[in-house]
């Protein structure tokens, strides 16, 4: 939601190590980073201060596991869920970068409605815009199960006629997406 | 020279149902007569009661003109009895794939004795149907047990 | 083996097949379960996706979109969720069930499938035809409007005019109502406009649809140049009609109506060919045919049928007019039957089959006004009523009893007429089993006559009763053998029949329905040498026969059969066909063989050999080779010593090589790749049947035809020569153009019915039911 931008970034982890030389905090042992309705879970997260005063997190999952992301959408009873091998989150630009077998779902009233998957997904949760890229040919990346090399997929559920699909008064944001 | 009397064929299938034949088919009458005469075989009234279903796909008696005189009168006709049939178990397993049997007889013709020629054609068709029915029975006898 | 012809979809459809491997709704792909509720999900795949969550999605780079049976491929696809619209740009390829489109821009609402498509090429799988258009507007799932379109089932190659093309201002296609309505339509064949209609309707599915059937042009020595344009009118699901207006240069204008009706309890056809004013004879000429059959379910299996065929005058058959097609062109049969077959259960003799029947049989004999020889007409049964009871088999006794009453009428007043009541009974006691059978049989033929004028002995009433006795014994011997490389069973079936029938004088009695049977391998084993009831020959004779068959040991199929039979008279036969008592003891020898061992080949021959003159009296030999669909050769030779010798040929064969130059000529471009199996573009088929009389060195009947299959149209030329008298014959030439995808061809239309009735094994190039030919197994 929009209100999340005003929230501080809180994190909870098993262990935390301060690497003074690189000015990086490394959290591990089951990390949860939250900011309002935003929640990110990973096996290990590297947190770094950004020059603009925000945080830059690099979350990676244990072998065979996925880093998961969830956030409620502004003004509608829908949540965005995502997962990938590795997530990079910049709290200033509010962009979440899912890398490696990335999948982002929109749950409408709890049931999965739309879903996109590909190599990398860049989700700007401030402007509620995402971009899915096929990334490098399959040889260098483990391809998303079933997708042709370098291809991305999306599944949309047509809205029942007349269902509100965007918060009132948020038209400005969509124009930017084109 | 190795010939011996033919033993009565023990049909492995006891209850047989004929399907697909029209009510007035003389071929079906002959087939029923020969099936009843084979030892141990009974004719089922409905497919459910039968172990074996002999299904007729085409049972036709055709007249084809074989020779005409110079004044378009018919001097010779070929009579063709044709049966295309399939045999399957009541459960639907196909034992004999669709097969066509045909018999032909030649008959001279003259318009003046049209009534007599109707009787003669009936006699020839009955003889062909006896032969076709015998061939169907031989094929049923060649079927192994279930 | 080549399959029968199947039209191929155009190249751009075949190559552009949309492959969406991962998109199969039934796999447990995660993408599938993401769909909430029962709605068809929209599945998108591309090189890149950009979207506003929950609102829009833009796919770029070989983008594909699929929803239900709608699938789309383009360079760029944008989908807006709130109004469910898809917008596609670049080479846009759309497939909707079996219709394909290829164009530059598409805008479509995916749920109700409304929208437009700019400058598409389209191909409709259901009619196997398509074309180009300026714009297609989709209206719902099964309707669309195509503007300024060219429509054809031929391959549309840029820069070349297709063999035929229907160019229209607008075409409305409604697959639900199975109708294509073209406005401002111009039909061009080889670039020449042959039809221009403000509004023209054509079928879009293969269901029955009113519309014009292919026109037919014919020339004949008796009717001159003829053009007929049949119109099929689908009145209602249970009845339809074909109206065929025909213009004949020598005869004038005629209308043929064929009306068919189908009800739950009864069905039938009625045809009327009417030529109001025959230019040559100045009279009205007509031919009427009516056939109907039905059953009264309530009355316990009472069935009826009638078949009436009448024509206006005796020369109708000579003048090549339509509507009176009959097996015997000179003798037109009209009959009615009412029959009931029932099984009587509780009778003293066990189960009995009872058959009650009443029939009427009338004839119209067409005397030839031109020639002196007059044909004797057969008697008419007006009416015939009777009953027949017989055993149902399985019991020890075989018996049957038939009683019948007939009123015989003759067209020629000075022929004796009258009524006859007769009774036919027979009872037999079959002994033995499958290997050996002995069947003594008693029979009875008793008839009473009442004639309208005195018989030759002055009496007007007479009756006679003739008993008969016969003993039929048959053995069946078998042995296992091998021949032609197959495990066989050879049977040896000797048969001996003794028949004893006392002499009863029948010379003074009228002969209404009896005539001498042909002498062949079947009739040699019948007690009476006459067919019918009126004549019973006296007999004290023995008939011996031997048949051997070769059967396939595993399937029991009969591969070959050889038979020989002869009759020996123990006493002269006094009642014979020509009235002269028969005294030579040995009859002619009958030989018969039929061989089906070689796959696709069937050979049949039967011969009658006279031992006294040491010469063949009669032979019939025929061979048929049908190695595959649309390929059959048939030949037969018939000899009746001293009276006729006839050679007959029949064929249907693809003349592959002849097709190539003809195709180049007609400009139907045949890409070499297209000439694969199953695709018959550019192939010519020779069809025909010849009847040659060797004695008078004359072709008594000939049909020769060519069918050219250009893929999207079929041209048919059939020439027919029929002898109408010793000196002259009528010749007919018919041309027919069938535009595949535009007109539905009913198999019954001339000249197809001529080919089907006279060429054994003839098959349609495009079988309306799409049944592929399968070969007949061993006989």
DSSP per residue, C13-35: HHHT----TT--TTS--HHHHT-
Residue C637, classed as helix, strand or coil, is strand
* Helical (H) or strand (E) element with A44: strand A38-49
- Closest to C765 (Cα-Cα) out of C703, C709, C686: C709
Pairing outcome for strands B15-19 and B52-68? parallel
CA–CA min distance A120, chain C (Å): 10
Let me know the angle formed at the C-alpha of C555 by C552 and C558, rounded to the nearest 5 degrees: 45
User: Among all residues of chain C, which has the CA nearest to that of B103?
Assistant: C779
How many CB atoms are located within 10 Å of the residue C19 CB?
Answer: 11
Cα(B86)–Cα(B56) distance, integer angstroms: 7
Rounded to 5 degrees, what angle do the CA atoms C331, C335, C336 make? 175
Long-range pairs, B124-131, Cβ under 8 A, ≥24: B124/B79, B124/C522, B125/B26, B125/B61, B125/B79, B125/B81, B126/B26, B126/B30, B127/C522, B128/B79, B128/B81, B128/B103, B128/B104, B129/B26, B129/B27, B129/B29, B129/B30, B129/B81, B130/B30, B130/B34, B131/B103
* Separation of alpha carbons C453 and C748, rounded Å: 48
Q: In chain C, positions 48-87, which contact chain A (CB-CB < 8 Å)?
A: 48-59, 67, 79, 81-82, 84
Q: How far apart are the first and last CA of chain C?
A: 21
Contact C295, C301 (CB under 8 A): yes
Beta strand C42-46 pairing with B94-108 = unpaired
C196 touches chain B (CB under 8 A): no
β partners of residue C165? C188
Task: State chain C's mean pLDDT as an integer.
Answer: 83
Residues paired with C608 in a beta bridge: C590, C618
Q: What angle (nearest 5°) sits at the alpha carbon of residue C430, between those of residues C428 and C435? A: 155
- Give C182 or C212, the one with higher predicted confidence: C182
* Average pLDDT for A13-41: 84
What are the φ/ψ torsions at residue C406 (nearest 5 degrees)? Answer: -130, 140
Q: What residue in B sits closest to C392 (Cα-Cα)?
A: B33
The DSSP symbol for C265 reads: S
pLDDT at position C745: 47
Touching status, chains A and B (3+ beta-carbon pairs under 8 Å)? no
Instruction: Give pLDDT tens digits for A119-160.
Output: 888 988 778 888 888 755 444 444 444 444 578 888 887 776
Q: Which residue of C has its CA nearest to B4?
A: C477
The answer to whether the CB of C233 falls within 8 A of the CB of C210 is yes
Interface partners of chain B (CB pairs < 8 Å, 3 or more) are C
Pairing outcome for strands A95-108 and A86-90: antiparallel
* Residue C410 in this model has a pLDDT that exceeds 80: yes
Compute how many other C-beta atoms are within 10 angstroms of the C-beta atom of residue C677.
Answer: 9
Task: State ipTM.
Answer: 0.68
Q: How many CA atoms lie within 13 A of C142 on its CB side?
A: 10
* Segment among C157-166, C532-541, C760-769 with least mean pLDDT: C760-769
Give the nearest chain C residue to A154 (CA atoms).
C44
CA-to-CA separations, C587 to C524, C530, C566, C590, in angstroms, rounded: 10, 16, 6, 9
Q: Which residues of A touch C82 (CB under 8 A)?
A: 159, 165-166
Q: How many CB atoms lie within 10 A of CB A38?
A: 22
List of chain A residues whose C-beta atoms are within 8 Å of the C-beta of residue C50? 129-132, 177
| pLDDT attached to residue C35 | 36
User: Which chains have 3 or more CB–CB distances shorter than 8 Å to chain A?
Assistant: C
- DSSP for A77-111, written as a single string: SEEEEEEESEEEEETTTTEEEEEEEEEEEEEETTE
How many contacts does B have with C, using Cβ atoms within 8 A? 183
Give mean pLDDT, residues C345-354.
81
In chain C, what residues touch A178 (CB-CB under 8 Å)? 58
| Closest alpha carbon to A160 in C38, C78, C56 | C38
- Across the range C36-42, mean pLDDT stands at 62
CB contact under 8 A, A146 and C37: no
- Sign of the torsion angle spanned by Cα atoms B33, B35, B40, B41: negative
Q: Given a cut of 80, is residue C718 above it in pLDDT?
A: yes
Q: Yes or no: say if C401 and C423 are a contact pair by the CB < 8 Å rule.
A: yes
pLDDT at res. C304: 94
Q: What is the C-alpha separation between C688 and C535, in angstroms, rounded? A: 42
d(CA C421, CA C414): 22
| Three-state SS sequence of A118-136 | EEEEEEECCCCEEEEECCC
C134-165 tens-digit pLDDT: 999 988 878 888 899 888 888 767 777 788 88
Residues of C in contact with B116 (CB under 8 A): 513-515, 530-532
Question: What is the torsional sign of CA C382, C387, C392, C395?
Answer: negative
Nearest CA in chain A to C110: A158
Report the percent of chain C where pLDDT is more than 90: 37
The answer to whether C76 touches C88, Cβ cutoff 8 Å, is yes
Q: How far is CA B128 from CA B135, C71, C392, C506, C629, in A?
A: 11, 58, 20, 31, 27
pLDDT digits (tens, 9 = 90+) for C680-698: 566 788 999 998 888 888 8
pLDDT at C200: 73
Q: Comparing C372 with C659, which gets the higher pLDDT?
A: C372
- Show residues of chain B in contact with C701, CB under 8 Å: 68
Nearest CA in chain A to C24: A146
pLDDT in tens, C447-485: 999 999 999 889 999 999 999 999 999 999 999 998 878
- pLDDT tens across B63-94, in order? 877 777 778 888 888 898 989 999 998 888 89
The DSSP annotation for C108-137 comes to: EETTTTEEEEES-EEEETTTTEEEE-SEEE
**CA-based nearest residue in chain C for residue B31:** C393
Chain C residues near residue B7 by CB distance under 8 angstroms: 434-435
Q: How large is the angle between the packed helices B114-141 and B26-37, nearest 10 degrees?
A: 40
Nearest CB partner across the interface for C42, out of A130, A131, A156: A156
CB contact at 8 A, C630 and C651: no
pLDDT for C195 beyond 80:
no
The number of residues in chain C equals 779
E strand spans, C553-696: 558-569, 589-595, 601-610, 615-628, 631-640, 644-655, 683-693
Strand-pairing partners, residue C131, are C122, C151
CA proximity to A123, closest of C49, C75, C65: C49
Strands A15-19 and C216-220: unpaired
Q: Considering CB atoms only, which of C39, C46, C111 is closest to A152?
A: C46
Q: What is the pLDDT of residue C253?
A: 94
Our answer on whether C and A touch (3+ beta-carbon pairs < 8 Å) is yes
Q: What is the distance, to the nearest Å, from the Cα of residue B36 to the centroid of all Cα atoms in its chain?
A: 15
pLDDT in the model for residue C433: 79
**Phi (first) and psi of residue B32, to 5 degrees:** -65, -40
Which chain C residue's Cα is nearest to A121?
A: C49
- List chain A residues with CB under 8 Å of C40: 158
Q: Do C393 and B7 touch (CB under 8 A)?
A: no
Give the pLDDT confidence score for residue C96 in this predicted structure. Answer: 80
SS3 content of chain A, % helix, strand, coil (to 5): 5, 55, 40
C60 near B CB under 8 A: no
Q: How many CB pairs under 8 A join A and C?
A: 135
Chain A CB within 8 Å of residue C38 CB: no
For residues C140 and C130, what is the distance between their CA atoms, to the nearest angstrom? 19
Record: contact C478-B6, CB cut-off 8 A:
yes
User: What is the predicted pLDDT for the residue at C469?
Assistant: 97
Summarised one tens digit per residue, pLDDT across range B86-135 is: 999 888 889 999 888 888 898 999 999 999 999 999 999 999 999 999 99
- Is C84 in contact with A158 (Cβ distance < 8 A)? yes
**Pair C669, C711: CB distance under 8 Å:** no
Query: For residue C35, which residues of chain A lie inside 8 Å, CB to CB?
Result: 112, 155, 157
Of C576, C512, C510, C586, the closest CA to residue C538 belongs to C576
pLDDT band at C779 (very low <50, low <70, confident <90, very high): very low
Q: Across the interface, which of C331, C530, C558 has its CB nearest the CB of B114?
A: C331
- Most confident range (mean pLDDT) of C66-70, C531-535, C669-673, C745-749 is C531-535
- Partner chains of C (3+ C-beta pairs under 8 Å): A, B
> Cβ–Cβ contacts within 10 Å for residue C586, how many?
12
Cβ–Cβ gap C34/A153 under 8 Å: no
């Amino acid at each position: 939601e929009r209100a999340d931008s005003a929230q501080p970034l809180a994190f909870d982890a098993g262990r935390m190590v301060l690497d003074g030389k690189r000015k990086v905090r490394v959290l591990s042992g089951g990390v949860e980073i939250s900011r309002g309705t935003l929640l990110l879970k990973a096996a290990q997260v590297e947190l770094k201060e950004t020059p603009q005063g925000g945080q830059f997190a690099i979350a990676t999952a244990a072998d065979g596991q996925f880093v998961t992301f969830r956030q409620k959408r502004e003004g509608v009873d829908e949540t965005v869920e995502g997962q990938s091998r590795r997530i990079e989150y910049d709290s200033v630009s509010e962009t979440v970068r899912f890398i490696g077998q990335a999948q982002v779902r929109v749950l409408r009233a709890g049931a999965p409605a739309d879903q996109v998957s590909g190599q990398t997904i860049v989700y700007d949760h401030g402007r509620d815009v995402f971009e899915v890229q096929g990334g490098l040919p399959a040889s260098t990346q483990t391809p998303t199960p079933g997708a042709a090399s370098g291809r991305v997929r999306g599944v949309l559920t047509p809205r029942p006629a007349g269902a509100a699909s965007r918060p009132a008064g948020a038209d400005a944001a969509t124009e930017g997406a084109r | 020279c190795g010939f011996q009397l033919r033993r009565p064929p023990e049909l492995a299938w006891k209850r047989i149902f004929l399907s697909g034949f029209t009510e007035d088919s003389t071929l079906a009458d002959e087939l029923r007569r020969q099936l009843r005469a084979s030892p141990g075989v009974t004719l089922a009234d409905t497919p459910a009661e039968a172990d074996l279903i002999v299904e007729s796909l085409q049972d036709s008696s055709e007249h084809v003109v074989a020779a005409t005189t110079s004044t378009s009168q018919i001097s010779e006709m070929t009579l063709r009895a044709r049966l295309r049939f399939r045999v399957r178990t009541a459960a639907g397993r196909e034992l004999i794939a669709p097969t066509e049997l045909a018999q032909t007889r030649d008959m001279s013709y003259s318009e003046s004795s049209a009534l007599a020629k109707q009787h003669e054609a009936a006699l020839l068709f009955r003889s062909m149907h006896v032969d076709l029915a015998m061939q169907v029975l031989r094929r049923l006898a060649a079927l192994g047990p279930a | 083996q080549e399959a029968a012809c199947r039209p191929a979809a155009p190249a751009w459809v075949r190559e552009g097949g949309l492959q969406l491997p991962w998109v199969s709704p039934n796999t447990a792909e995660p993408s599938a379960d993401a769909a909430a509720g029962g709605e068809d999900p929209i599945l998108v795949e591309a090189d890149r996706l950009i979207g506003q969550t929950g609102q829009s999605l833009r796919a770029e780079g070989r983008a594909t979109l699929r929803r239900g049976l709608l699938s789309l491929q383009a360079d760029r696809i944008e989908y807006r969720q709130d109004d469910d619209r898809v917008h596609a740009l670049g080479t846009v390829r759309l497939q909707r069930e079996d219709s394909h489109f290829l164009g530059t821009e598409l805008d479509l609402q995916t749920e109700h499938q409304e929208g437009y498509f700019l400058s598409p090429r389209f191909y409709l799988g259901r009619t196997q035809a398509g074309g180009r258009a300026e714009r297609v507007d989709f209206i719902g799932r099964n309707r669309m409007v195509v503007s300024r379109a060219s429509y054809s089932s031929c391959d549309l190659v840029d820069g070349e005019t297709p063999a035929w093309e229907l160019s229209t201002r607008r075409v409305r296609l409604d697959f639900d109502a199975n109708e294509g309505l073209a406005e401002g339509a111009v039909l061009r064949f080889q670039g020449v406009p042959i039809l221009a209609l403000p509004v023209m309707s054509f079928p879009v599915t293969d269901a029955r649809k009113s519309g014009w059937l292919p026109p037919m042009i014919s020339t004949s020595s008796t009717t001159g140049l003829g053009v007929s344009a049949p119109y099929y009118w689908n009145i209602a699901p249970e009845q339809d009609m074909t109206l065929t207006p025909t213009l004949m240069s020598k005869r004038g204008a005629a209308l043929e109506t064929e009306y068919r009706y189908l009800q739950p309890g009864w069905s039938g056809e009625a045809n009327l060919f009417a030529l109001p004013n025959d230019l040559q004879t100045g009279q009205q000429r007509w031919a009427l045919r009516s056939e109907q059959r039905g059953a009264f379910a309530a009355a316990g299996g009472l069935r009826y049928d009638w078949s009436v065929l009448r024509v206006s005058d005796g020369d109708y058959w000579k003048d090549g007019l339509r509507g009176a097609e009959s097996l015997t062109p000179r003798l037109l049969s009209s009959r009615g039957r009412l029959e009931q077959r029932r099984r009587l259960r509780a009778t003293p003799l066990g189960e009995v089959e009872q058959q009650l029947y009443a029939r009427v049989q009338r004839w119209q004999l067409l005397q030839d006004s031109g020639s002196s020889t007059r044909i004797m007409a057969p008697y008419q049964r007006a009416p015939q009523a009777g009953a027949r009871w017989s055993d149902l088999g399985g019991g020890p006794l075989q018996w049957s009893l038939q009683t019948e009453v007939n009123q015989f009428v003759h067209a020629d007043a000075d022929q004796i007429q009258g009524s006859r009541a007769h009774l036919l009974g027979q009872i037999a006691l079959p002994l033995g089993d499958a290997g050996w059978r002995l069947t003594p049989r008693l029979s009875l033929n008793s008839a009473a006559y009442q004639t309208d004028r005195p018989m030759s002995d002055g009496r007007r009433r007479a009756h006679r009763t003739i008993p008969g006795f016969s003993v039929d014994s048959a053995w069946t011997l078998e042995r296992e053998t091998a021949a032609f490389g197959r495990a066989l069973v050879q049977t040896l079936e000797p048969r001996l029949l003794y028949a004893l029938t006392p002499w009863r004088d029948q010379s003074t009695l009228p002969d209404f329905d009896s005539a001498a049977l042909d002498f062949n391998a079947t009739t040699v084993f019948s007690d009476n040498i006459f067919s019918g009831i009126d004549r019973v020959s006296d007999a004290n004779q023995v008939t011996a026969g031997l048949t051997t068959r070769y059967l396939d040991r595993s399937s029991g199929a009969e591969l070959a059969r050889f038979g020989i039979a002869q009759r020996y008279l123990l006493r002269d036969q006094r009642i014979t066909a020509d009235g002269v008592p028969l005294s030579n003891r040995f009859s002619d020898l009958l030989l018969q063989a039929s061989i089906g061992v070689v796959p696709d080949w069937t050979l049949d021959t039967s011969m009658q050999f006279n031992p006294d003159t040491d010469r063949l009296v009669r032979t019939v030999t025929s061979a048929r080779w049908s190695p595959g669909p649309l390929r059959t050769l048939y030949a037969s030779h018939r000899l009746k010593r001293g009276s006729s010798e006839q050679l007959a040929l029949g064929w249907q064969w693809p003349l592959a090589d002849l097709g190539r130059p003809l195709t180049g000529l007609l400009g139907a471009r045949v890409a070499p790749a297209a000439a694969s199996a199953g695709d018959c573009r550019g192939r010519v088929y020779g069809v025909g049947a010849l009847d040659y009389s060797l004695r008078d060195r004359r072709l008594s009947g000939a049909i020769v035809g060519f069918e050219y299959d250009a893929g999207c149209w079929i041209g048919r030329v059939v020439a027919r020569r029929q002898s109408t008298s010793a000196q002259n014959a009528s010749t007919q030439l018919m041309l027919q153009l069938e535009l595949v995808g535009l007109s539905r061809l009913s198999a019954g239309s001339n000249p197809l019915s001529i080919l089907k009735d006279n060429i054994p094994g003839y098959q349609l190039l495009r079988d309306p039911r799409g049944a592929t030919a399968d070969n007949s197994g061993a006989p």
